[in-house]
Structure 1
Amino acid sequence: MVIAFHDSCMRASGCCFLRSRTVPREFGNAGEVVSMERSAWFRRCSWRVLAVSFCCVLWSAAAEAVEDTVVVPAWQRFRAEHLSAEQAGRLLITELNCQSCHGAYPGLTLQARQAPVLTAAARRLNPVFVRQFLQNPQGIKPGTAMPHLPAAAANPAVLDALTAFLTAGGGWRAQAVSADAIRRGEDLFHRVGCAACHGDQRSDEVIEALRRGLAPPADEEEEPEADAVGKVKPQLNSRPDFLMPLGRLEEKYSLSALIQFLREPHLVRPSGRMPSLNLSPEESRDVASYLLRKVQVEANIEYEYFEGSWNTLPDFSSLKPVSKGTTTDFSAGVGSRQNDFALRFLGYVQIPKTGEYRVHVTSDDGSRVLIDEQEVVNNDGIHPPTGRSGAVQLTAGSHALVVEYFEQGGGEELSVEIEGPELGRQPLSALTTLTRAAVQREPQGPVEPSAELVAEGRGYFAKLGCAACHQHGEGAEQLTSSVKAREFAKLNPAGGCLSVNVPAGLPVFALSDRQRGDLQAALAAVASVQSESAPASEVQQAMLSLNCYACHVRGDLGGVSEPLNHVFAGSIPEMGDEGRIPPALTGAGDKLNDEWVRTVLSEGAKDRPYMATRMPRFGGQHAEYFAPRLAAVDRGEVIPEVVFEAPDHRVKADARQLVGDQALSCIKCHRFDSYAATGLQSLDMTTMTRRLRRDWFHRYLADPQAYRPGTRMPAAWPGGRSVVPGVLNGEPELQIEAIWRYLLDGRRAKIPSGLERQAIELKPTGRPLIYRNFLEGLSSRGIAVGFPERVHFAWDAEHMTARLIWHGAFIDAAKHWVDRGPGNQSPMGDHVMVLPAGPPLAKLSSLDQSWPGGNPRETGYRFQGYRLNAAGVPTFRYQWNVVEVEETLTPVANEPDNGLRRTLTVKSAEPLNDLWLRVAAGKIEQVQDAFVWNGVRLQVEEGLAVVRRSGDQDELLIQLPAGVPVATVRLTLIW
């Protein structure tokens, strides 16, 4: 192809689209003729005229029709400007799976792109498609990596044998798809991430309309041109060449087979090039239906349509249908209304094998399924989309089927599925016929291939080298290739598969001249390649192979391409690109901890609920590959340990104040567990320490713009000075570290102030306030006591002891006083400390004897209630065999927060001997005349205190005086 630039072109602005590349106007000078390499890149040339201009785009007279070539997305997208010939060649070696024949290539450590596993191909593939694909791979699926096999393509007998071997016993047949499912699937495909690799499948007009919705306002852009019929011309190529082609899926898969593939793509494509988006069964069905939307199936279900308003399913036998007809699926879309209608579907379900079957129905509003006049599922009533299932024993053969449905108002939805013996979950319509007799279908391939033909195909599968790339069979049954190829170091770069004219017997790959040249460059360099490559190179190679760059930027490479910008959507427009574009991976090994990298890659993630695009699941092998390499490449400055003078619970309380609405207001943009932010709904704060590294967290909070230019994350410590100087002396390092430690508690972290916007705070004034209800961390017999001195405790009548102590606000009663009041309520204040559970008293013959466990009531403890003194302070009473105990907790003055004095009076009908009280368990240190446990300072005022080691913890015990009927223990708790 040549482009001729003429004098009058000097004031023209335009570009020639070579799919992913553009050639700007400045590329050519007046009168200059520029030749372009013949390849599969050229698609169209688009010019916008700014002034009088004249430009000729001419095809060379000698040019031939350009064939499609192998599509390796990263090669098509980045070869021209970012990859050397050798780098591109190594990428092609991995993605064409050259290693399957030629062994390991030095420095390539990533698992090669394994060809699809064909062990169970008969269950999913159409024999007609298989034969056509074997005969002409590029003709059936342009861009496929599957090479042309002349030895098979030219011999019908070989094609028949291979097809018989791969599809024998499969029983493939087309299945009807639902119009409703197609509609939902179209939305899912273009929203959750499928289109990032496979492109927008909608029409150019729809694509352009969506793009214009993302474009700058009209007053900031030029008025687009219109053609003769007034349509807006696309401003960008709608089909860039770096998209992975889908091919003619409707000719390849049945609906149930494609559903299963979308659910577990790694079973067929184990090397992760087709990752899982963690689609639910319903989502898999909908996306599969959309991809198979061109399937044509004869009507196999009769329906009757009724109009009226009902609250439950009507008696259809008493109604006259408005219309009747036939359809291919149980779909609410059959009705001509959106509200106030009903449908009755009639047909016969053809059961392949006797056994128990489960029928699943999801509907909005009511529905019911009957088989042989027996109700199998009842999903009646007015409700949002709701699923119900039922089981039924069915014999092989035909059974009368009725599906009833009605819609009153709101959304309308109906889907019916079935599963049973050797039958995966699939639409019930796939087994339904209009008549009792099963439909005799035309054979889809070789008619009942003989064992000899299957065996012959098995031989060809090994002889032609198919088994070198494709797995067939497991363990000892797995076939191996009889074709032996040379190692990379012994290959002639200009020979074999890379010859211009490939020798007979070898596979013919659809390579462009440049792809062939890149492979030759990689082969020519094999002798000088290091056996071990640098981690940075390995990370880039892996991201190229797995097409991570379709969504993510790393360094100066990748990110969402302009032609696909519109398919990345978010639910919060105010967040801009941060709310819809997947995050950059520059420095990801510094930002993310190793375990989270493994989790994300092996399981996928959805930590950004506002972002429609999902993080796919690539599999465990890639998780183990990336984690150490990202760490080796990206790790940055180590932040020294930060030491606080205050105990941990006070540090966390300060952090809680910092992130709340009266300080840094992190809660305005960040969710906190189940609590929505007050403004934007950005990442959940309780998940941050699970994902992020402490060093990066420190550096990022100190200067967000340095890590993410343009981010909406504000700088809370500009110039190294805190905007909240009254907390932790205003020192940035202390404040950031405090927030990190606070968030380390994850979902257990106390809710920041400002999120409980409908709180009903109980405030003790004048006298203590007692709150009896379900309290977090206590049994169902918890009793909270609040003091005006803003120090509080919760006593557990199941364990006969105080279990919680805290400062500040007392209790938010909203959880229990609003609506039905479900769940446990946590203390509203700060510095919440958990005291040991009971039993509180025990008889120990020696200090080597373990403290008894179990429920105190099982060892004779009985709660006797509590009494109030004149000031309203409760004294809790309980009995343990012949021992009676009274316990009172009262405030004790202290700075900056008050403490509690705990007083126990123990009475016994018999003299007290060997009786001990346990007041603390964990790590205990004696500091002067007190004991420090978990940030609580305990000072025993009456009683003999002993610290002992028991198992893996310390215990602070107080011995009661022996030989007396009454003893008193008194201690203070300061924290």
Structure 2
Amino acid sequence: MNTERSMLRRICIALTFFLPSLLSAQHPVVPGYERFYSQDEDPSVEAGLLLLGELNCVSCHQPGESLQSAVSVKTAPVLSDVGSRIRSGFIKSFLQDPHGAKPGTTMPDVLAELDAEAKQKVVEELTHFLASTGAVNDSAISPGDVNKGRTHFNTFGCLACHNPQEGDRQAIGASVAFPELSKKYTLSSLSQFLQNPHQTRPAGRMPSLNLNDNEAKEIASFLLRDLKLPDNLKFKYYEGNWSKLPDFSMLEPKLEGATSGFGVILGNRTDNFGIVFSGTLVIPKTGEYTIHLGSDDGSRLLIDGKQIVIVDGIHPHQFKNAKANLTAGEHELVIEYFDGSAHNTLEALIEGQGLGKQSLTGLLYTPKPKDPVESNDLVAVDAGKAAVGAKHFTSLGCADCHQLKQDDQLLASAKQYQGLENLIGKQGCLTKAVGSPHYALSPKQQADIRKAIAYLEEVEYQPEMPEKIHRTFVTMNCYTCHQRGELGGVVDARKDFFITTQKEMGDEARIPPPLGDTGVKLQQSWLKDVLGNGTKVRPYMLTRMPKFGNEQVAHLPELFEQVDELKPVDHAQDVFSEKKLKVSGRRLVGSKGYSCVKCHVFGNQKASGVQALSMTTMTKRLKYDWFHQYVINPVAMRPLTRMPTAWPNGQVLLPQVLDGTVDQQVYSIWKYLEDGDKASIPQGVGGNQIELYVFDEAVMYRNFIQGAGPRAIGVGYPERANVAFDANQMGLALLWHGSFIDAGKHWTGRGQGFQPPLGDNVLTLGQSPTLASLESREATWPAGELKKQGYQFLGYQLGEKRKPTFFYKLNDVLITDFPNPESEGGEFPALDRTINLKSDQEQLDLFLRPLVASQQVELGDDGVIAVDGEWKFKVAGDVGEPFVRGKELLVPVELRNVDGQFVGEVKLRYEW
């Protein structure tokens, strides 16, 4: 409908409109419209279509089947329990003058055609009807919560759409203005709305920031910080140093007065003080209630002089509860509290007889203001007026936009309207025509809507996929945080509100990422979850990715995938096994590789430098082609990123890893990260590491090694192959490559626990003896306490380069066991193992069990034995034909008679 050039021209003009005067305008404020269309000189079809949806025109003026895709629908707030959420005084003022009560509202003045007296009467009746759907529950605001809420509001992302609420900052254009919130909400109702906005506003324009209970309450407290409630409690303030509740009746108070709610900071002290609250509790219905009392430190609650629940002593904040049978009406309430030191908190809650768990403050007798005009609430709902108001709700068309259930039935509108395509040339809502709602549209908005209606009358509207994405971004205000192509992004006036805990990372750590390549960058499953549920993969970015609800944005992932393009990469050939790829990937991201762990966290393990995105989520989030191109040349994909490349200008700095090519190394990192949280932690992550380095000679480590038992003997070889010999079980238990061992666990603190190998490509051979004497091929391999079965460990002897030979025996068979890695094995050297046996007696039933597979063992025709489809094993020497028994490999040993001694030599080779 518009060329890209004209679009960019409009955007450039729109970016100049951020002036405070616009926020005082009475026309409906739609953020996307204000930013991208309001300053255009000429009417725009795109702008008009946006307004038709955001003003909810199609709830009354139904579009024909061919036009349904042309206009999105912003459903109005659900009003089924509005009386329990909104103060009836605000309902009244809002119905009387929507644009005065909330500047910029998209709610029209439905009663604009009525004279003042008639309008006041209808407003009164509608107010009584809406107020009859529930009752608000007031509670006082805590100064501490206000301070916390201020921080949340200014950092979580609220200021991406709303104006700053304090200081001398000017209003920012395209902001959604607040009404006087303290006249509209109570603390509990605003908290509930902030925590679950979609429950009452399913259109998703107000997204969820995934706030927890405390965060929602704290932000609500900040927004309602000017709320003044009448006193509903008397208090006496004491000073003293106690370890349990004193007898306050024997003490002289330092201060007496009245207050609202159970805030305990009422005197000079914040430690070593006591408070006694007293007031009148009004119980709505006779029956059993549960009273909850929580405090830091001690407290107790009495009703009519009887102790109900006590939480005495010095302790962190904790709750106790008790049952109480209470009659309807007034009861004397007393709460005693003392603080010893540090934190000071007090909460009193009630539930039962239809009441959900809530603060007792909502049931305290509160004197009404002397001047009822100053009250936000009606004194009482008049059933007669409410009944008339219900009729107005259907006859005036309120039910066309708003859902409201009465007796579990949705109220239906009694009005009839012309279809959307029949409005061409009509005035109606576009002006102050008699009988039509008054939207207070600006001349530009009127012109845009007329242009769109005329366009729809003439053309069968079929938006292209890029246009669908753009319209969704404008509608849901995605552009306020994200840039896509040349459009959108955080405007200068808001940039200061985007904050990070990692300033070293620059704007990339505080400004939400651009979305121009989303379809080729992100996995669809991940994107659907992010859009529908929000996410927090960038903990250093304090602005939160909100949750819009699937209905509003579920179409975007598929559109992104079809629209966005990226040159495909040539995938690395499968030259190496998956296991070796993962081993190399782990090395490359570790501190001895390309040191990705210096900047990226690994699950819950912190990085040693800045705390960038976790590596464990990368393959879940990203597509491989994008990942491949990004890590090779980050700046080409993200011009302002501070992410360095590990392969500058295509050079490989670690040519000894795999085949030394960029493609294989990138692919190996990807394969390693595919294991996500289950991936082995790379080197350089975690504290208190004391690595034992191996240089020209073997290094030994005798301690508790995971997978090799409490009498493990670890050996690190200069060839960067390592073994762990189990001196209890008389056999090799583990083989691994790379780094040897981290002694930090055993050389610090109490030295408890088993230490796993520090390197990678760990091969588990099984904790059991290598040699056994079996009565038959089917006999069970020895287990349990081996000493009673004739086994004995004799020690070891160091040879050339301090490489050990292990000595042990089975009955009268002496065994020497010499592991020795190959010297030119490259990144994954094989291990040769020579076992010599000697006995004074002939042995006919000896067997070796050099390994136990995790899956399967396959005997090859060439003598090579394949294990688990990943590694190879060879055996030679004085042996018979190997055979497989389940997952076991057994090798018969055939000793030779040499000068009256029975001897044998077996050579084993492990290639993994």
- Place the TM-score, normalised by the shorter chain, in its bin: 0.7 to 0.9
Amino acid at match of 2:418: R
Q: Matched residues in 2 for 1:549 and 1:892: separation? A: 59
Counterpart secondary structure, 1:567: coil
Q: Matched residues in 2 for 1:600 and 1:887: separation? A: 60
Q: Deviations over 1:765-796 (max 9, x none)?
A: 767534326x4xx69x6765412435445699
Q: Could you say if the C-alpha distance between residues 307 and 107 of structure 1 is closer, same or farther in structure 2, counting changes exceeding 3 Å?
A: same
Q: Matched residues in 2 for 1:709 and 1:836: separation? A: 51
Q: Matched residues in 1 for 2:698 and 2:890: separation? A: 36
Give 1:361 deviation, angstroms. Answer: 3.7
2:108 to 147, 156, 176: 147
Q: Note if contact 2:795-2:808 (Cα within 8 Å) is conserved in structure 1.
A: no
Aligned partner of 1:252 in structure 2 is: 184
Counterpart secondary structure, 2:628: helix
1:582 to 512, 519, 526: 512
1:283 aligns with 2:215: yes
Counterpart secondary structure, 2:59: helix
Amino acid at match of 1:973: Y
Counterpart secondary structure, 2:138: coil
Q: Note if contact 1:351-1:395 (Cα within 8 Å) is conserved in structure 2.
A: no
Q: Could you say if the C-alpha distance between residues 20 and 565 of structure 1 is closer, same or farther in structure 2, counting changes exceeding 3 Å?
A: farther
Aligned partner of 1:131 in structure 2 is: 92
1:593 aligns with 2:523: yes
2:545 to 615, 618, 641: 615
Aligned partner of 2:774 in structure 1 is: none
Q: Deviations over 1:77-100 (max 9, x none)?
A: 111468971111111122112222
Q: Matched residues in 2 for 1:273 and 1:314: separation? A: 50
Q: Deviations over 1:884-911 (max 9, x none)?
A: 9x99895554623243759899xxxxx9
Give 1:558 deviation, angstroms. Answer: 1.6
Alignment of 1:409-808 (within 5 A): 412=343, 414=345, 416=347, 418=349, 420-421=351-352, 422-432=354-364, 444-445=377-378, 447-450=380-383, 453-473=385-405, 477-498=409-430, 500-504=431-435, 506-728=436-658, 730-761=660-691, 768-772=700-704, 775=706, 784-789=712-717, 791-792=721-722, 805-808=735-738
Q: Matched residues in 1 for 2:746 and 2:754: separation? A: 8
Q: Note if contact 1:807-1:831 (Cα within 8 Å) is conserved in structure 2.
A: yes
Amino acid at match of 2:167: S
Q: Note if contact 2:794-2:807 (Cα within 8 Å) is conserved in structure 1.
A: yes
Q: Note if contact 2:13-2:39 (Cα within 8 Å) is conserved in structure 1.
A: no
Aligned partner of 2:863 in structure 1 is: 929
Q: Note if contact 2:14-2:38 (Cα within 8 Å) is conserved in structure 1.
A: no
Counterpart secondary structure, 2:446: helix
Q: Matched residues in 1 for 2:472 and 2:711: separation? A: 58
Q: Could you say if the C-alpha distance between residues 639 and 509 of structure 1 is closer, same or farther in structure 2, counting changes exceeding 3 Å?
A: same
Q: Could you say if the C-alpha distance between residues 830 and 462 of structure 1 is closer, same or farther in structure 2, counting changes exceeding 3 Å?
A: same
Q: Note if contact 1:721-1:730 (Cα within 8 Å) is conserved in structure 2.
A: no
Gap runs ≥5 in structure 1: 1-17, 24-40, 46-64, 208-237, 842-846, 906-910, 949-954
Q: Deviations over 1:180-227 (max 9, x none)?
A: 1112111111111112111211121xx4xxxxxxxxxxxxxxxxxxxx
Q: What TM-score, normalized to structure 2?
A: 0.81
Counterpart secondary structure, 2:519: helix
Aligned partner of 1:202 in structure 2 is: 166
Aligned partner of 1:11 in structure 2 is: none
Q: Note if contact 2:484-2:516 (Cα within 8 Å) is conserved in structure 1.
A: yes
Counterpart secondary structure, 2:37: helix
Counterpart secondary structure, 1:198: coil
Q: Note if contact 2:730-2:793 (Cα within 8 Å) is conserved in structure 1.
A: no
2:793 to 864, 867, 870: 867
Q: Matched residues in 2 for 1:969 and 1:462: separation? A: 94
Q: Note if contact 1:698-1:736 (Cα within 8 Å) is conserved in structure 2.
A: yes
Give 1:108 deviation, angstroms. Answer: 3.7
Aligned partner of 1:3 in structure 2 is: none
Q: Could you say if the C-alpha distance between residues 476 and 293 of structure 1 is closer, same or farther in structure 2, counting changes exceeding 3 Å?
A: closer
Q: Could you say if the C-alpha distance between residues 870 and 752 of structure 1 is closer, same or farther in structure 2, counting changes exceeding 3 Å?
A: closer
Q: Matched residues in 1 for 2:376 and 2:209: separation? A: 35
Alignment of 1:40-55 (within 5 A): 43=20
Q: Could you say if the C-alpha distance between residues 576 and 745 of structure 1 is closer, same or farther in structure 2, counting changes exceeding 3 Å?
A: same
Q: Note if contact 2:274-2:339 (Cα within 8 Å) is conserved in structure 1.
A: yes
Q: Matched residues in 1 for 2:760 and 2:218: separation? A: 48
Give 1:925 deviation, angstroms. Answer: 6.6
Amino acid at match of 2:617: T
Give 1:242 deviation, angstroms. Answer: 0.9
Aligned partner of 2:900 in structure 1 is: none
Q: Deviations over 1:113-156 (max 9, x none)?
A: 21111122222122222222122211111111111112678444
Q: Matched residues in 1 for 2:710 and 2:519: separation? A: 46
Aligned partner of 2:8 in structure 1 is: none
Q: Note if contact 1:309-1:408 (Cα within 8 Å) is conserved in structure 2.
A: no
Aligned partner of 1:72 in structure 2 is: 30
Aligned partner of 1:974 in structure 2 is: 911
Amino acid at match of 1:599: D
Q: Note if contact 2:429-2:439 (Cα within 8 Å) is conserved in structure 1.
A: yes
Q: Deviations over 1:655-674 (max 9, x none)?
A: 33333334433223222223
Q: Deviations over 1:519-539 (max 9, x none)?
A: 111111114555542221111
Q: Matched residues in 2 for 1:822 and 1:163: separation? A: 70
Q: Matched residues in 2 for 1:800 and 1:429: separation? A: 72
Q: Note if contact 2:83-2:132 (Cα within 8 Å) is conserved in structure 1.
A: yes
Aligned partner of 2:129 in structure 1 is: 165
Give 1:598 deviation, angstroms. Answer: 1.1
Q: Note if contact 1:791-1:900 (Cα within 8 Å) is conserved in structure 2.
A: no
Q: Deviations over 1:33-86 (max 9, x none)?
A: xxxxxxxx97559xxxxxxxxxxxxxxxxxxx9851111011111114689711
Give 1:698 deviation, angstroms. Answer: 1.1
1:830 aligns with 2:760: yes
1:408 to 329, 341, 357: 341
Q: What TM-score, normalized to structure 1?
A: 0.76
Q: Note if contact 1:840-1:919 (Cα within 8 Å) is conserved in structure 2.
A: no
Give 1:581 deviation, angstroms. Answer: 1.5
Amino acid at match of 2:456: V
Alignment of 1:273-422 (within 5 A): 273-307=205-239, 312=243, 315=246, 317=248, 320-337=252-269, 340-348=271-279, 349-352=281-284, 354-357=287-290, 359=292, 361=294, 363=296, 366-371=297-302, 372-377=306-311, 380-381=314-315, 387-396=317-326, 398=331, 400-406=333-339, 408=341, 412=343, 414=345, 416=347, 418=349, 420-421=351-352, 422=354
Aligned partner of 1:85 in structure 2 is: 44
Gap runs ≥5 in structure 2: 1-11, 772-776, 798-803, 838-843, 896-903
1:263 aligns with 2:183: no
Q: Deviations over 1:453-475 (max 9, x none)?
A: 44433332222222221112399
Amino acid at match of 2:60: C
What's the % identity of the aligned pairs?
32
2:156 to 170, 186, 192: 192
Counterpart secondary structure, 2:496: helix
Q: Could you say if the C-alpha distance between residues 540 and 19 of structure 1 is closer, same or farther in structure 2, counting changes exceeding 3 Å?
A: closer
Q: Deviations over 1:634-679 (max 9, x none)?
A: 1412223212533333333333333333443322322222332222
Q: Note if contact 2:277-2:334 (Cα within 8 Å) is conserved in structure 1.
A: yes
Counterpart secondary structure, 2:452: helix
Q: Note if contact 2:700-2:713 (Cα within 8 Å) is conserved in structure 1.
A: yes
1:180 to 119, 140, 144: 144
